[in-house]
Structure 1
Amino acid sequence: MNELVFEINSNEEIWELFDKDLNSIFIHKFVPNEVIQWWKTDLKTQSGTEFKNLSVRQMEMDVQTDLSGLKKILKLNTNQLRIYQFEKPISDTLEIDRLPEKNRNQVLKQNGLKHFFFVDFEFITIGSFELDFISGIERNPKFEKRIAERKQRLTE
């Protein structure tokens, strides 16, 4: 797994980093509202039970979406995101938290993972099984100076 870490100014600016040929997006432990407060929402369960006008807080969920949905999520400018880009939707039985740490990347790769993007406040960590993908990001005019500065600070 090839990785790259650098500073970002907002989640919206990282949109161009995603592989537009891969339309299966998985966001692990997505929190749609980071402020701990109550808000109103409707909820429909898989069995068809509907709850109208619920008050909820601290909701956390795994989300499967496409690039269009990802673009909307990035506009929320959430402080922490765990975004995985797959070749295909992940199966119902794949749970990242239950995978052993030592072979997690290999299992995810076997399930079609190509790249991941971990946003932690002002930093992004990008991982990919494809070195060319990482090299392309390093050459991106918007980010290449930030990447070079970060690498230099780490070697000093």
Structure 2
Amino acid sequence: MNELTFEINSNEEIWELFDKELNTVFIHKFVPNEVIEWWKTDLKTQSGIELKNLSVRQMEMDVQTDLNGLKKILELNTRQLRIYQFDKPISDTLEIDRLPENNRKPILKQNGLKHFFFVNFEFITIGCFESEFISGIELNPKFEKRIAERKQRLTE
């Protein structure tokens, strides 16, 4: 897998990096509220049970959505996100945490993974099996200078 890490200035910039041809987005361990505080919400289970007016905190979940959902999630300005772009929906049985570390990337590739984005505060790491995707980002005028500066700092 080809990887690239550089500084990012905003979630609007992050949005520019996604492949708009891939509409299946998976966010691993999404935390909708960064601050540890209670908030009110309703919850509906797959079996149809509705729990109303719950107080929740530290909620963490896997989210499967499309590009429109991703755009809304990015508007939350979450500082840590693990975003995967697939070419098909993810099966119910695929659980990233249960995949063996040494086989994780090949298994995800078999299941349609195309790109991985790890947002960690002001840095983003992009992983991809296709070097052309990474090259396109490296040549983007908005990111080119930041990428070159980061690579230079790492070699010094």
**TMscore range, shorter length:** over 0.9
Q: CA deviation at 1:18?
A: 0.3
2: CA distance between counterparts of 1:84 and 1:29? 11
1:55 counterpart letter in structure 2: S
Q: CA deviation at 1:13?
A: 1.3
The equivalences for 1:48-87 within 5 A come to 48-87=48-87
Give the share of equivalent positions with the same residue, in percent. 87
Task: Please give the TM-score of this superposition, normalised by the length of structure 1.
Answer: 0.99
Provide the alpha-carbon RMSD of the alignment: 0.5
Give 4+ residue runs of structure 1 displaced > 3 Å after superposition: none
Q: CA deviation at 1:12?
A: 2.0
Q: Deviations over 1:10-33 (max 9, x none)?
A: 222111110000000000000000
Alignment of 1:151 with 2:151, yes or no, is yes
2: CA distance between counterparts of 1:6 and 1:100? 28
| Aligned counterpart, 2:46 | 46
Contact kept? 1:41, 1:52, Cα under 8 Å = yes
1: CA distance between counterparts of 2:140 and 2:70? 21
Gaps of 5+ in 2: none
Gaps of 5+ in 1: none
Secondary structure at 2:141 match in 1: coil
Q: CA deviation at 1:93?
A: 0.1
| Aligned counterpart, 1:140 | 140
2:116 counterpart letter in structure 1: F
1:154 counterpart letter in structure 2: L
Secondary structure at 1:119 match in 2: strand
Secondary structure at 1:154 match in 2: helix
The equivalences for 1:4-19 within 5 A come to 4-19=4-19
Q: CA deviation at 1:104?
A: 0.3
Q: Deviations over 1:4-57 (max 9, x none)?
A: 000011222111110000000000000000100000000000110001111000
Contact kept? 1:12, 1:77, Cα under 8 Å = no
2:10 counterpart letter in structure 1: S
2: CA distance between counterparts of 1:77 and 1:144? 23
